[in-house]
Amino acid sequence: MPTAVGPVEAVAREPRVLPNRAGGRIVPVRGIVPRTGDETTMGKVLVLYHSASGNTAKMAALVAEGAGLIPGIDIRVREVAEATPEDVYWCDGLAVGSPTNMGVLSWKMKRFWDEAMFDHWGKVDGKVACAFSSSGGWGGGAEIACQSLQMVLMNFGFLVFGVTDYAGKTMTAHYGAVAAKEPQDGDVQDACRLLGRRLAEWVAVVADGRKDQHPLAKPESRTLPI
């Protein structure tokens, strides 16, 4: 059965301050506020994934958790075999995850866009989107797989984005969140959450006009080397 996730309960965590190679530090993530249940749900985020081993599914859960850190965001998680075009119409923002298969997205994820979404091309333009992928090991092509996912999304008119922030001393999500096998490392998990949070922020800005959620309006929440 598909998994529907309402506003995800955010868990406050102690911010980490990490030195960078230039001897400075990374600005810690702050402003992670638990849900009170009082927020009005506005923007909608869909986390759509295919997972062969379960590793990408775990990344999807972390991306959804990160999206839930932004107040007023409704979140839906769908495994691609259970997803329908209606899920894509429903959302304002979309995070697409796939295993890295020969350096690109999986055939099951590609089939969803080739077949289920074929008649809907040209009708879902303007939604915000990003990508994540798990490969068999570092250097296995996960970032290239993210770019292949982004190319599919761009062909459907989605507004794809990168993330300038760091999720750790040496971990970024410039092209999307990536993992080698299961996302066990803390920095990898933080990168997944960061991607989901940034997607939710852009949904809040683009779909809901909530300028206060623009990343540049919240310097205290950024994780930038300084």
Domain ranges, ordered by start, for the chain:
3-9+20-221
Q: What is the full per-residue pLDDT of the chain (226 aa) written as tens digits?
A: 444 444 443 333 333 333 333 333 333 333 333 333 445 668 999 999 999 999 999 999 999 999 999 999 999 999 999 999 999 999 999 999 999 999 999 999 999 999 999 999 999 999 999 999 999 999 999 999 999 999 999 999 999 999 999 999 899 999 999 999 999 999 999 999 999 999 999 999 999 999 999 999 999 999 888 6
Contact 200, 39 (CB under 8 A): no
Give Cβ neighbours of residue 131 (< 8 Å, ≥ 6 apart). 95, 96, 97, 98, 145, 146, 147, 149, 150, 153, 160, 175, 176
Sign of dihedral through CA atoms 30, 203, 62, 22?
A: negative
The token pair at 59 is 């990344």
Pick the CATH number of 3-9+20-221 from 3.10.50.30, 3.40.50.360, 3.40.640.10, 3.30.300.30: 3.40.50.360
Contact 98, 149 (CB under 8 A): yes
The token pair at 133 is 């992928």
The token pair at 124 is 């879902």
Give bridge partners of residue 180 from the DSSP assignment: 135
Contact 52, 99 (CB under 8 A): yes
CA distance 211 to 198: 14
The token pair at 81 is 């075999």
Contact 64, 75 (CB under 8 A): yes
Helix axes 55-67, 186-206, angle to 10 degrees: 50
